[in-house]
Chains A and B, each alone.
Chain A
Amino acid sequence: MVDERRTDEAIEAEAPIMVQVQNISKDFGSVHALDHVSFQIRQGEILGLLGPNGAGKTTAMRILTGYFPPSRGDVWLKGERLFANPNVVKRMIGYLPEEVSLYSDMKVREYLGFVAEIKKVSRRRRKPHIDDYLTRCGLWDVKNRLINQLSKGFRQRVGLAQALIGDPEVLVLDEPTSGLDPKQIIEIRSLIRELGKERTVVLSTHILPEVNMVCDRVLIINEGRVVASGTTDELEAGLKDRHEIFVTIGDRKMKDKAVELLASISGVERVRLVEEKVDQVSFALSATHGADPRSSVSRIFVEHQIPILEIRAGRLSLEEIFMKIVVSEKDSQNYL
């Protein structure tokens, strides 16, 4: 799955900045939903907004889409201030809200026609434009059906299609896969990846693997503040102390010897027994930062004729990164 992410970071670093969020805060009475949040998104990037429920993801997205202005700070789209001229700048944004809700008494095509008219798609272009998105979102066969007769997956597609009408350069998707079945989730994800090739996409999610699968970069928001941002690799690298290597051998009798040998390898700080079965034993090694003892492990084990079944560098899953960041965030707040 990792392979599917685009790795042409060099190009991305040079791509123009599409969305610039500058120090925005949003207060609802005494509640600070967002607190000095800043980030930028380059053209053609898919940014994942990650955070526990109530972290401020939806608030951030609503500001980004011009639903309401921030209490402080500003949002710039392609160098134009969003709230200086919302009716013009909002045409650059397509929004898919959480729990997509559409006018269920309208037919798919009729609804998209309504949206196209509001988004000022010229009369002449309207029909081919709508046809194009009906096809691309896989809605052609249901174009004359009432929206309330469609399945959730199809309604999500209609939601995507309405966001795409008017060819906005920025797509904002709030939990685009929530409530869908696994097959629909896969379809919607691949559609988003496809769309993200030409557009800038911001999507929020609480499904962590989704970020790995779809997004180029992650922004973790907790309690209204950005607590981490970067690619998943970068986030992982930031948490150096967790570098672990897993080794599995195929002979239980060699267990003690293996522990002894592993501990003697330079760069290995600690050896921990992970799992012991009849025919295999697994260990986890904590390596000092920068050291990669994998080649030493295989060499020494071969020398001592210990059968190796597996050696792999343990990657931190996004769940672990997320938990670590969000939890340590809480701790530091509690103790300060």
Chain B
Amino acid sequence: MRRALVIARKEATSFFRSWSGTLIFAFFFLIAGIFFSLLLLSYAKLSFEASKTAYQGLEGIGLTRFVFGSFFLNFSMVLIFLVPILSMRTFSEERKTRTLELLFTYPLSDFDIVWGKFLGLVWIMEALLLPTLVYLGLIHWMGLTFDWGPVLMGYLGFWLLANAYLSLGLFVSSLTDSQVTSAMISFACLMVFWMFEWVAGVADGTVGQVFVALSPLSRYRNFTLGILDLSDIVYFCFFHFFFLFLTMRSVETRNWKG
């Protein structure tokens, strides 16, 4: 397991050292800022209009729900674009540059390599997420009060969703030595998962229920609403392990594919 940490550290460092890494980092921070600003402005506008018309309904929604709830829900869309770009490097790039061959001859198990790479991605995602706390601080500094509970729940949900997407991206990356192909396929898969909720909206009965149960987005929605359901956490854990397991199998194919 300690070897996995060495790999993870290497993955994360080389990401932040690259130009694309710095760029992604900046963009993520910027887009999160724009999301927050727009949501705050529309909240301000709404509450101003509500005070004019003496409308009382807005209190039930509140800042936490309105700004943070919408933020996390909408911002998850960014993951569909971001994750393929992050994960395409892991195996595809190393296959292309043939550094993977050497990695397999080091005293490491496949488990170390797969987990190390996954952990590296998780760390990168966490590092991207961390600066968004600045916006929280800003909102707090502006004198607006919000509930920490649902906000933390939002972060937890976002983290779980991001990890789930990353595990899928990691698996796709292990299938091909082309980064572009890897990104495209990951993107397509994430889109399909994203559309599961729509299917649930169209199909009735059991089919609809199955799609809701399998949809990462409807699981994630609970977190943005501040609802902590054990089954959602179990779902995401299963999602991670399933794709990491597939990645392990995919890495093993070198034994018979060469």
**Which residues does A use to contact B, with CB under 8 Å?**
27-29, 33, 59, 62, 65-69, 86-88, 90-91, 93, 95, 97, 99, 101-106, 114-115, 117-120, 162
Contact = CB atoms under 8 A, between A and B. Distances in A.
A67 B101 contact: yes
Interface string B230-258: 00000000000000000000000011111
Given A66-B104, A103-B99, A118-B108, 12 more contacts: A28-B258, A67-B104, A86-B107, A87-B108, A91-B107, A93-B105, A97-B102, A101-B99, A102-B102, A114-B6, A118-B7, A119-B106
Contacts of A104: 97
22 contacts: A28-B256, A28-B257, A62-B105, A67-B101, A68-B104, A68-B258, A87-B107, A87-B108, A93-B105, A97-B102, A97-B105, A101-B101, A102-B99, A104-B97, A105-B14, A106-B10, A114-B10, A115-B106, A118-B3, A118-B6, A118-B7, A162-B102
A97 B6 contact: no
Contacts of B102: 95, 97, 101-102, 162
Contacts of B14: 103, 105-106
A115 B7 CA distance: 10
B108 A67 contact: no
B240 to A, nearest CB: 24
B107 A90 contact: yes
A93 B104 CA distance: 12
Given A28-B257, A59-B258, A106-B14, A101 B98 contact: yes
Given A95-B102, A105-B17, A118-B3, A69 B107 contact: no
Contacts of B258: 28, 33, 59, 68
Contacts of A105: 14, 17-18
A118 B97 contact: no
Interface of B: 3, 6-7, 10, 14, 17-18, 97-99, 101-102, 104-109, 254-258
Q: Is the interface of B mostly helix, strand, loop or mixed?
A: helix
B94 to A, nearest CB: 9
A87 B7 CA distance: 16
A115 B14 CA distance: 15
A97 B98 CA distance: 9
A68 B254 contact: yes
Which of B106, B255, B258 has the most chain A CB atoms closer than 10 A to its own CB?
A: B106
B109 A68 contact: no
B105 A95 contact: yes
A24 to B, nearest CB: 13
A73 to B, nearest CB: 14
Contacts of A67: 101, 104-105, 254
Nearest to A106: B14
Contacts of B10: 103, 106, 114
A167 to B, nearest CB: 13
A101 B107 contact: no
A105 B7 CA distance: 15
A118 B106 contact: yes
Given A28-B256, A68-B254, A101-B97, A117 B6 contact: yes
A80 to B, nearest CB: 13
